[in-house]
Amino acid sequence: MVVALADIPSSEWVELVDVPDGERRARLLRLGLLDGRVECRRRIRNGPVVVRRRGTEVALGRSLAREITVERAAPDDAPR
């Protein structure tokens, strides 16, 4: 099921499905967030959503997190 990143609870693993706008998409690609699963670390009330991939945490603004669609996934270390 595809949902907005802003709606994912903490500690859930997701795969980013759609990121709007070429510039923001390119930035997330450079950060390595588009080529695999990421963990939603924190959702700060009325603030950013913090995601982690390979030990790097990135805070994404709430408005951007609402525009990014994701699918739930197993953690990177879980068997596929």
Asked if 67 contacts 7 with a C-beta cutoff of 8 angstroms, the reply is no
Q: How far apart are CA 61 and CA 44, in angstroms?
A: 10
- Cα–Cα distance for residue pair 42/22, rounded to 1 Å: 25
Q: How is the beta sheet containing 49-53 ordered, strand by strand? A: 2-4, 69-73, 13-18, 37-43, 49-53, 56-60
What the chain holds in terms of domains, given with CATH numbers, is 2-72 (2.30.30.90)
H or E element at residue 3: strand 2-4
Q: What is the pLDDT of residue 38?
A: 92
Please report, in tens digits, the pLDDT of each residue of the chain (80 residues total): 789 999 999 999 999 999 888 888 898 888 888 888 999 999 888 889 999 988 889 999 999 999 999 998 876 555 44
Reported pTM = 0.82
